[in-house]
Chain A
Amino acid sequence: MDKMVNLKINNIPVSVPEGTNVLEAARSAGIRIPSLCYLKDINEMGACRMCIVEIKGGKNLVASCVYPVSEGMEVFTDTEKVRNSRRITLELILSNHRMECLTCPRNGNCELRQLAAELGIDEVRYSGSQDKQPELDTSALHLVRDNSKCILCRRCVSACRKLQAVGVIGPNDRGFATHIGSAFDRPLAEVDCISCGQCTVVCPTGALTEKDDTDQVLAALRDPTKHVVVGAAPSVRVTLGECFGNPVGTNVEGKMYAALRRLGFDKVFDVNNAADLTILEEGTEFLHRLESGGTLPLFTSCSPGWIRFLEQDFPEFIPNVSTCRSPQQMFGAMVKSYYAEKEGIDPKDIVVVCIMPCTAKKYECKREEQRLPNGCMPVDISITTRELGRMIEKAGIMFNSLKDEECDPLLGMATGAGVIFGATGGVMEAALRTVVAKVTGSEMGPLEFHEVRGTKEIKEAEYALPGKTVRVCVASGVSNIKKVLKGIKSGELNYDFVEFMCCPGGCVNGGGQPYQPADVRGHVDLKALRAKALYRQDEQSTYRKSHENPMIKELYETYLGEPGSHKAHELLHTTYAAQKRYRV
């Protein structure tokens, strides 16, 4: 039990554990202290000076996000002095911020703008640098940085360094020249950025946004010669609703299908179906490696951010990664082969659009080794949940009042196993369901593998199969992936099968998911609530094991042969290659 400290906040007595900062203590008294840089447990550095408060007996105002409580302390969060100081600081921040609010991608969910409204800033008295020009880095496939809107809060830097242990950005130079950038101010495309997009979800302003590819989607939809097919990733159905004010963890699958039809897609399939397909291929690959003494542990390959990290930082483990394409790429591959042949459409006339929780998927779908034997790239355009939200809004679709619809079954129908891909541990659980059934030859085995569920950063479990105990591990967030890889390398950790997801908590917390202000992010367990909605859908599914999916069965019977067949290899598997970390 932590030692408790008693203090007063605006004369209200509160008791909080020792070591708590004043900002969090104030929350327990029902007072929200504004901040632009604070990100609980991740970015606590007092950079923005918005959270300053007055402490009785103190000489100066203090930044409450880095000021620990002490016994008998008296804090005042809303005095005239505090208000004035916050207003002046915010005006100074705004004086150096390129204000194009009406045309900014963050219009409507900008934390800076929100705070300016809260503090009643109706005038900026300081002119700073007049006619500020955009300072753009558009080099990367997945995001755009515009430093003219950056307020130097360092949230992106912390997300990159602490959550993802990649650290490709940091504050460069000093004083007024200070700016966030890569080493030697190289463009993002030239450094070892893994494209995860975690920096974009924590940015309070429009300085970091995903690269908007929605115009390409619209162009395809308006082109009468193109047959446009769409599929959304498992996690998108439990997050898209947030773009329309629904509570975190609302499943809007039916409305999502309805909205996609209203946007004009010719076929509304579902990447869940390809997730099931992934399990059959990956499960077969695992069993094959297990039986034939192949390279183990087997690593999952669904997460392109993780793959990029592996290729750059741990290329020695490339033989351990499953050769399976990710569900997004399997989806595109099936559309442009199986579906195209079945419907008699030239695959070159098909445009495959994927809705992803992920910015790295934009990079993945452009990787040359993804090209299919027929010369097509499996996926043409990959957009994030946020971009889909904006497309729906712009099209005037009244999302919340739409009636639920079903997806087109052919490459849409999915099992509960496919749905849970969106949460950390989901791919492992889905694979175990199928692997256990295959090994035991019985469908009576366990259906739920609770040991691999939950938002714990690294999860381990052992399952006894006939003749072999399978040791599994699930890790999400690159900092945790790094720990596991180092452990495996040193021989300290021993597993047979490992699920790695680049983003902490898996795809439900992906870099392309809807914005939530830092205040919500720090105090609502987004990962758990969103994942819960996926597991609920799994529970309610008719089929819960990938190999029971009737559409997948038909796909193998009529087209692919069997999992791991030559044709399956051509269409559903890929290769990896070591990549350089530095470009000198």
Chain B
Amino acid sequence: MPNTKTAVPFQGTKEQEEQLRRIIAEYKDTPGATMPILQAAQSIYGYLPEEVQIIIAEELDVPLSEIYGVASFYAQFTLNPKGKYRISVCLGTACYVKGAANILQAIKDKLGIEAGGITPDGLFSLDACRCVGACGLAPVMMINDEVYGRLTPKEVGPILDKYKE
């Protein structure tokens, strides 16, 4: 999982920050507060950007490196927001043997991002996922709720271009 700083500018609102601070205040003095606070923060913002982790670190009076260490350890936490179009490439067994890795690579090349990342314009986010239950169509990718099956790497570019319009 790439845990680099997200390319998308932070757009948190005052309301979101107030909500976060309320939750931190609630958990502050309980041992092991970091996990529930990070979970809450992710549900407020959809991801855990540096700006949000700094608020948590300051409020809990722990080093930012400690918060980041937890956030980057667990797969459930993401440092990138989800894009307008969320691409999920299935890497389940059936898709994998049908060449899903090549599909994933083609998308990475096309968008210039890694799995877990987001394009700087916030349009596309990319994730690798496990079986979506459409093994008959392997290899499969989903863009939001749309399913694309029996893909070849060549088809990826034109499909993505469609969303750019």
A-B complex is real: yes
Interface residues of A in 525-584 (CB under 8 A from B): 582, 584
- Known contacts A173-B1, A184-B5, A185-B4: does B54 contact A168 (CB below 8 Å)? no
User: Interface extent on B, as a size class?
Assistant: 20 to 34
Interface residues of B in 63-78 (CB under 8 A from A): 63-69, 72-75
B68 touches A172 (CB 8 A): yes
What per-residue 1/0 map shows which CB atoms of B43-72 lie under 8 Å from chain A? 000000011011000000011111111001
Chain B residue nearest to A168 (CB atoms) is: B65
**Residue B3 lies at the interface, judged by CB distance under 8 Å to chain A:** yes
- Known contacts A170-B68, A171-B69: does B50 contact A184 (CB below 8 Å)? yes
Q: Which of A174, A177, A183 contacts B65 (CB 8 A)?
A: A183
Q: Which of B10, B53, B63 contacts A166 (CB 8 A)?
A: B63
List, in ascending order, chain A residues with CB within 8 A of B1's CB.
Answer: 173, 177
- Known contacts A184-B4, A184-B5, A185-B3: does B65 contact A170 (CB below 8 Å)? yes
B63 touches A172 (CB 8 A): no
Interface residues of A in 131-178 (CB under 8 A from B): 161, 166-174, 177
B54 touches A582 (CB 8 A): yes
B64 touches A183 (CB 8 A): yes
Q: Which of B67, B73, B75, B79 has the largest number of chain A CB atoms within 10 A?
A: B73
List, in ascending order, chain A residues with CB within 8 A of B50's CB.
Answer: 183-184, 582, 584
A182 touches B73 (CB 8 A): no
A168 to B65, CA, bound (A): 6
List, in ascending order, chain A residues with CB within 8 A of B67's CB.
Answer: 183
A174 to B10, CA, bound (A): 26
Q: Which of A171, A174, A582 contacts B64 (CB 8 A)?
A: A582
List, in ascending order, chain A residues with CB within 8 A of B69's CB.
Answer: 170-172, 183
A170 to B69, CA, bound (A): 6
Least Cβ distance of A182 to chain B in Å? 6
B3 touches A173 (CB 8 A): yes
Task: Report the number of A-B residue pairs with Cβ-Cβ less than 8 Å.
Answer: 59
B3 touches A168 (CB 8 A): no
A185 to B54, CA, bound (A): 14
B63 touches A170 (CB 8 A): yes
Number of interface residues of A (CB under 8 A): 19
Q: Which of A161, A169, A584 has the largest number of chain B CB atoms within 10 A?
A: A584
A177 to B114, CA, bound (A): 15
What per-residue 1/0 map shows which CB atoms of B1-27 lie under 8 Å from chain A? 101110000100000000000000000
- Known contacts A168-B63, A170-B63, A582-B54: does B73 contact A184 (CB below 8 Å)? no
A168 to B69, CA, bound (A): 11
Least Cβ distance of A26 to chain B in Å? 32
- Known contacts A584-B50, A584-B51: does B62 contact A167 (CB below 8 Å)? yes
Q: Which of A161, A172, A183, A186 has the largest number of chain B CB atoms within 10 A?
A: A183
A183 touches B53 (CB 8 A): yes
List, in ascending order, chain A residues with CB within 8 A of B75's CB.
Answer: 174
A167 to B68, CA, bound (A): 11
- Known contacts A185-B3, A584-B51: does B72 contact A174 (CB below 8 Å)? yes
List, in ascending order, chain A residues with CB within 8 A of B5's CB.
Answer: 184-186
A174 touches B73 (CB 8 A): yes
A172 touches B72 (CB 8 A): yes
A477 to B17, CA, bound (A): 35
List, in ascending order, chain A residues with CB within 8 A of B10's CB.
Answer: 584
Chain B residue nearest to A166 (CB atoms) is: B63
List, in ascending order, chain B residues with CB within 8 A of A185's CB.
Answer: 3-5
List, in ascending order, chain B residues with CB within 8 A of A183's CB.
Answer: 50, 53, 63-65, 67-69
List, in ascending order, chain B residues with CB within 8 A of A191's CB.
Answer: 64-65
Least Cβ distance of B51 to chain A in Å? 6
List, in ascending order, chain A residues with CB within 8 A of B53's CB.
Answer: 183
Least Cβ distance of A171 to chain B in Å? 5
List, in ascending order, chain B residues with CB within 8 A of A169's CB.
Answer: 65
A172 to B2, CA, bound (A): 11
List, in ascending order, chain A residues with CB within 8 A of B66's CB.
Answer: 161, 167, 170
List, in ascending order, chain A residues with CB within 8 A of B74's CB.
Answer: 174
Residues of chain A whose beta carbon lies under 8 Å from any beta carbon of chain B: 161, 166-174, 177, 182-186, 191, 582, 584
List 10 interface pairs A-B (beta carbons < 8 Å), by A numbering.
A161-B63, A167-B63, A170-B69, A173-B72, A183-B63, A184-B5, A185-B4, A191-B64, A191-B65, A582-B64
* Sample of 17 further A-B pairs with CB below 8 A, known A174-B75, A582-B50, A584-B10: A166-B63, A167-B63, A167-B64, A168-B63, A169-B65, A170-B69, A172-B3, A172-B68, A172-B72, A173-B72, A173-B73, A174-B72, A174-B73, A183-B50, A183-B53, A183-B69, A184-B79
The 7 A-B residue pairs whose C-beta atoms are closest, nearest first, are A167-B63, A183-B68, A170-B65, A170-B69, A183-B64, A183-B65, A174-B73
